[in-house]
C-alpha cells in the first residue's frame, strides 16, 4: 500500500473478536471525550514520535492542551495514570531510556527529561497499573538491544496465561524478564519471534503475537477483554497494533511553528524535506488527528516519509 493508505478493517480471528472491547469517542467544541464507562479501557497512555530530523518534543509531552503530563493527572476519560513514566530516545542507533515509578506530575523529573528530549525517534509512556506493583522494573518502556517497547492495555487473566506464554518465550528472552507485568512478557515473546526470523517484517510478528495472546487469553477466560495497543521500535521505524484501545495519529509535512510556543522545534537542514508523525492514545494538540481503526497493525518510516495501516486480518499468520 502507498503512503497513508488504510485498508478496510476486516474481521479478525474469532478469539480476537471475543477479546476486543470498543470504547466510544465523541468530539465537540471543547475537544475529544471518551464515553465508554469501563475503567479497564483506559490503563496507560502511549506516545510515539518519528521524524526526518531531530526534533524537540517538550511541548507535546509537557505543555500542550492534552500533553502526556496532563494525561498523567487526568486523561480525556477522567482517569489518572500515576504509576510511572518513561521516555526513550535514540543515540547512535541505541535506545536511551529514562523512567521513574512515580507519576509524571510528581516533582520535576518528567519535565526535565522532556525538556532535553531532542531526537528523531521518541517513545513515551505513562502507566496506570493493572498487573504488577509500581516499581521501576514494571515501568514502561522496556528496552533490549536496539529494540524499545511499550504497551497500553492488559492481557486478562495473566496469572493463568503467564505459564503458557512462558512456554513460547525462549530461555534467553525469559531470563531477561525483570518485572511482573504482562507487558514485559509480551515484549519477550515479540523478541523471541524476531530472533527466530520466521517472519519477514515486524508487522507480521506483531500480528502473530496478537493472535497467539488472544488465543491464550480466551482459553483462560472466554469473556475476557483484551487490550493490545503495542508500540515497538528499532530506532529507524515504529511498528504497532491497535487492538481494544484507542489510538490516533497526526502527520506533519514541512516546517511549522509550534502552536504552544510559536517556534519550530528543529535545527532544520534545508537540504532535507521535514516530515514527522505522532501516534498517541489520545489527541494531544489542536491539530486534526485521525483515529487508527481497531484491529489494525501499523508502521511509520520517517526515512521514507510514509506510514501504513493494515487490518490484522490481512496478514497471514
Q: What is the pLDDT of residues 20-38, one digit of tens each?
A: 333 333 333 433 333 333 4
259 in Cβ contact with 197 (< 8 Å): no
The residue among 265, 226, 2, 286 whose CA lies nearest residue 122 is 265
The answer to the question of residue 41 being in a domain is: yes
Report the pLDDT averaged over residues 235-253.
96
The answer to the question of residue 69 being in a domain is: yes
The answer to the question of residue 145 being in a domain is: yes
Domain residues for 73?
A: 14-314
pLDDT surpassing 80 at residue 246: yes
Report the pLDDT averaged over residues 224-251.
95
What are the distances in angstroms from CA 263 to CA 55, 62, 207, 220, 285? 12, 16, 39, 52, 15
85-111 pLDDT tens trace: 999 999 889 999 999 999 999 989 999
Bridge partners for 297 per DSSP: 241, 310
The answer to the question of residue 6 being in a domain is: no
Distance CA(298)–CA(24), nearest Å, equals 21
Bridge partners for 239 per DSSP: 232, 299
- CB atoms near residue 222 (< 10 Å): 10
pLDDT band at 42 (very low <50, low <70, confident <90, very high): low
Q: Return all residues near 65 (Cβ < 8 A) that are at least 6 apart.
A: 31, 284, 285, 286
- CB atoms near residue 225 (< 10 Å): 18
pLDDT surpassing 80 at residue 159: yes
The answer to the question of residue 1 being in a domain is: no
Report the pLDDT averaged over residues 197-218.
93
Report the pLDDT averaged over residues 68-78.
89
pLDDT surpassing 70 at residue 192: yes
Burial of residue 298, with CB atoms counted within 10 A of its CB: 0-12 exposed, 13-18 middle, 19 or more buried: buried
Peptide bond into 141 cis (omega under 30): yes
Task: Compare 106 and 148 and report the one with higher pLDDT.
Answer: 148
Residue 132: which CATH number?
3.60.20.10
pLDDT band at 155 (very low <50, low <70, confident <90, very high): very high
Per-residue model confidence (pLDDT) at position 82: 81
294-313 pLDDT tens trace: 999 999 999 999 999 999 98
Per-residue model confidence (pLDDT) at position 312: 92
Across 42-46, 80-84, 124-128, 282-286, the highest mean pLDDT is recorded for 282-286
pLDDT surpassing 70 at residue 13: no
pLDDT band at 282 (very low <50, low <70, confident <90, very high): very high
The answer to the question of residue 280 being in a domain is: yes
**Percentage with pLDDT > 70 across the chain:** 86
Per-residue model confidence (pLDDT) at position 37: 35
Per-residue model confidence (pLDDT) at position 135: 86
The answer to the question of residue 9 being in a domain is: no
Q: What are phi and psi of 17, to 5 degrees?
A: -65, -35
pLDDT band at 74 (very low <50, low <70, confident <90, very high): confident
Instruction: Report the mean per-residue pLDDT for the chain.
Output: 86
218's grid cell:
480466551
Report the pLDDT averaged over residues 174-188.
96
Report the pLDDT averaged over residues 54-68.
95
The structural domain count of the chain equals 1
- CB atoms near residue 300 (< 10 Å): 26
The answer to the question of residue 49 being in a domain is: yes
**Percentage with pLDDT > 90 across the chain:** 65
32's grid cell:
475529544
**What's the whole-model pTM score?**
0.86
Amino acid at each position: 500500500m502507498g503512503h497513508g493508505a488504510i485498508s478496510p478493517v476486516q474481521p479478525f480471528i474469532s478469539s480476537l473478536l471475543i477479546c476486543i472491547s470498543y470504547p466510544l469517542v465523541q468530539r465537540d467544541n471543547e475537544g475529544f471525550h471518551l464515553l465508554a464507562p469501563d475503567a479497564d479501557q483506559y490503563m496507560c497512555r502511549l506516545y510515539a514520535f518519528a521524524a526526518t530530523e531531530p526534533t524537540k518534543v517538550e511541548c507535546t509531552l509537557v505543555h500542550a492542551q492534552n500533553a502526556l503530563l496532563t494525561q498523567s493527572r487526568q486523561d480525556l476519560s477522567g482517569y489518572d495514570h500515576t504509576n510511572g513514566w518513561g521516555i526513550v530516545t535514540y543515540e547512535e542507533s541505541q535506545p536511551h531510556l529514562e523512567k521513574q515509578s512515580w507519576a509524571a506530575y510528581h516533582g520535576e523529573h518528567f519535565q526535565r527529561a522532556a525538556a532535553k528530549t531532542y531526537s528523531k525517534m521518541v517513545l513515551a509512556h505513562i502507566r496506570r497499573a493493572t498487573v504488577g506493583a509500581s516499581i521501576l522494573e514494571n515501568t514502561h518502556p522496556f528496552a533490549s538491544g536496539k529494540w524499545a517497547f511499550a504497551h497500553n492495555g492488559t492481557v486478562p487473566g495473566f496469572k493463568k496465561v503467564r505459564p503458557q506464554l512462558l512456554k513460547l518465550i525462549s530461555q534467553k528472552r525469559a531470563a531477561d524478564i525483570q518485572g511482573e507485568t504482562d507487558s514485559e512478557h509480551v515484549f519477550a515473546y515479540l523478541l523471541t519471534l524476531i530472533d527466530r526470523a520466521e517472519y519477514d517484517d515486524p508487522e507480521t510478528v506483531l500480528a502473530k503475537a496478537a493472535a497467539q495472546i488472544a488465543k491464550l487469553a480466551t482459553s483462560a477466560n472466554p469473556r475476557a477483554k483484551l487490550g493490545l495497543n503495542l508500540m515497538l521500535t528499532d530506532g529507524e521505524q515504529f511498528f504497532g497494533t491497535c487492538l481494544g484501545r484507542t489510538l490516533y495519529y497526526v502527520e506533519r509535512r514541512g516546517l511549522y511553528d509550534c502552536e504552544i510556543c510559536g517556534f519550530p522545534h528543529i535545527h532544520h537542514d534545508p537540504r532535507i524535506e521535514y516530515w514527522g508523525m505522532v501516534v498517541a492514545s489520545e489527541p494531544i494538540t489542536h491539530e486534526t488527528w485521525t483515529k487508527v481503526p481497531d484491529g489494525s497493525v501499523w508502521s511509520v518510516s520517517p526515512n521514507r516519509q510514509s506510514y501504513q495501516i493494515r487490518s490484522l486480518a490481512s496478514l497471514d499468520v
